[in-house]
Structure 1
């Protein structure tokens, strides 16, 4: 390998400071992109989609679990996928491994759920085997085809206003590789991180950073 040179600590720090300028530019650009995402138009969901869940049939509304925002990842776990029935898609499994504790998303009125074509019995076995604790539902209709995830993985974002649901965002391909952490997921949502430093439309819920943060077992109190 053609490795970079070994330099003095002073030269290393100078190089780090030079790179830091570009890294901060990248961070500001990412924040601006999230602000634009919060202003995207939405499309209404008019079909009644049905899933099979751990406790029986579930509607798209049920997947929200009472919250306003829903992130749905299409996980490929079904008979025609390599590893079936013991394992899911390698790439989808890697994404599942990096999902942060869900309590932090839930505290921001956001639910994350996975959907697959596998029956609930198989999904329960896979979750136990892999140590995952993500709400996971079985597709029973054309939801995957309607939202661009019938032939490839992808992440759809939805917003619920009472009984009215709209689709707000979608990413796939390399877009999915950046998600998993709490902040990355919230940046995809229509309400964002809901912190007062964000550039959001008037009236959006916001609070100071740090104030709402908790250890994951402390949110109920």
Structure 2
């Protein structure tokens, strides 16, 4: 889950009056021009980071990963679908779960619109999870997504790219994620989000060029980029200051319920029930 900047307002349903100084048009223009210089510095720095990212060394992929897809068994090479570049979204969706992580669903909502542009610019984008293919397909249909979604449940792919953890790893209290040792994850949190990027050359050799985890995937999350220019920003008001305070599957906003600290959505408990329903 991300930990973005918030407004500090505790009640997202009730906003106070203007929290900033109200000024004349001339003063507003001057303040905005001054801040524009910092925005330009950020843009130039982001451009430089992009150049440095593209210059990072690559590692050759030696293992033959096989996935379950609607077309049957496919390899990592097949996922390129005739293109030379492949972006994979690691979506938190374990083998025993029926619905996908709320945060990963939030990110996946940004894919439909960009997919045709990527595919016509030599880039394939595929979503990968450990859940069985039938479960993934049912959830994809419910959410109205059009991207390819394959199951890695019968391979080491998720574990090799450090987005899934064996129960015995979690029992130790330490897992390797986002290039660091992360301690004390909940024992039922066997998956975490990320993005991994690959290149396939004319000989069919595949190279791992980049992976990013945690907040590293926020640039691909369109809703956050809009919220970051809105008056109240992300306005995430729970104790953790993350998306579980408000984000829901896009077809669940009119229903009550909550999202726990592992990104799982729970329906509101029904009368006579002792707890929320999954």
TM-score > 0.5 by shorter chain: yes
Which of 100, 105, 123 is matched with 1:88 structurally?
100
Per the TM alignment, residue 98 of structure 1 is displaced from its structure 2 partner at its CA by: 1.8
State the TM-score, normalized to the length of structure 1. 0.77
Structure 1 unpaired stretches of 5+: 185-221
Judge conservation of contact 2:69–2:150 (CA < 8 Å) in 1: yes
Q: Give 3-state SS (helix, strand or coil) of 1:7's partner.
A: coil
2:185 paired with 1:154? no
Which of 153, 156, 161 is matched with 1:142 structurally?
156
1:164 corresponds in structure 2 to: 205
Q: Give 3-state SS (helix, strand or coil) of 1:158's partner.
A: strand
2:47 paired with 1:7? no
2:129 paired with 1:116? yes
2:34 corresponds in structure 1 to: 18
Instruction: Provide the rounded CA distance (Å) in 2 between the counterparts of 1:44 and 1:118.
Output: 27
1:211 corresponds in structure 2 to: none
Instruction: Provide the rounded CA distance (Å) in 2 between the counterparts of 1:160 and 1:94.
Output: 29
2:256 corresponds in structure 1 to: none
Instruction: Provide the rounded CA distance (Å) in 1 between the counterparts of 2:29 and 2:144.
Output: 41
Aligned length: 178
Q: Give 3-state SS (helix, strand or coil) of 1:157's partner.
A: strand
RMSD: 1.6
2:101 paired with 1:61? no
State the TM-score, normalized to the length of structure 2. 0.61
Instruction: Provide the rounded CA distance (Å) in 1 between the counterparts of 2:149 and 2:32.
Output: 43
Per the TM alignment, residue 130 of structure 1 is displaced from its structure 2 partner at its CA by: 0.6
Deviations 1:68-107 (A, max 9, x none): 0000111112345xxx31x210110100112233111112
Per the TM alignment, residue 180 of structure 1 is displaced from its structure 2 partner at its CA by: 4.1
Deviations 1:124-170 (A, max 9, x none): 11111111111110002101111111131110000000310000001
Change (3 A) 1:16 1:27: same
Q: Give 3-state SS (helix, strand or coil) of 1:101's partner.
A: helix
Tell me which structure has the larger Cα radius of gyration.
Answer: 2
